[in-house]
């Protein structure tokens, strides 16, 4: 997913992957949570949705 983010948002996109286990995934930008997999019933975000947030 990080590679897709860099491709769509540019190589300067600040992406940090922090493994936390148990399939948790939270995406933040400018200090705001944009996506929380736990709150979304365990689904992963589609790149289309991330592009819309952009």
27 lies in some domain? yes
Q: Say if 5 falls within a structural domain.
A: no
Report whether pLDDT(12) > 80. no
- Spatial distance between the Cα atoms of 48 and 54, rounded to a whole number of angstroms: 10
For residue 40, tell me if it sits in a domain.
yes
pLDDT score at 27: 82
Per-residue model confidence as pLDDT tens digits over 13-45: 777 777 777 878 888 877 788 888 889 898 888
Residues 33, 26 contacting (CB under 8 angstroms): yes
Question: CA nearest 27: which of 7, 10, 53?
Answer: 53
Could you tell me the residue range of the domain that residue 22 belongs to?
16-53
- Judge contact between 38 and 24, C-beta under 8 A: yes
Pick the residue with more confidence: 4 or 41? 41
Q: What separation in angstroms does the CA of 9 have from each of 12, 13, 21?
A: 8, 6, 26
Return the pLDDT at 54: 60
Residue 48 lies in a domain: yes
- What is the count of structural domains for the chain? 1
């Amino acid at each position: 997913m990080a590679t897709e983010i860099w491709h769509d948002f540019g190589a300067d996109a600040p992406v940090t992957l922090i493994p936390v286990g148990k399939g948790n995934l939270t995406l933040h930008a400018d200090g705001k949570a944009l996506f929380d997999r736990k709150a979304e019933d365990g689904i992963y975000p589609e790149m289309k949705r991330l592009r819309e947030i952009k």
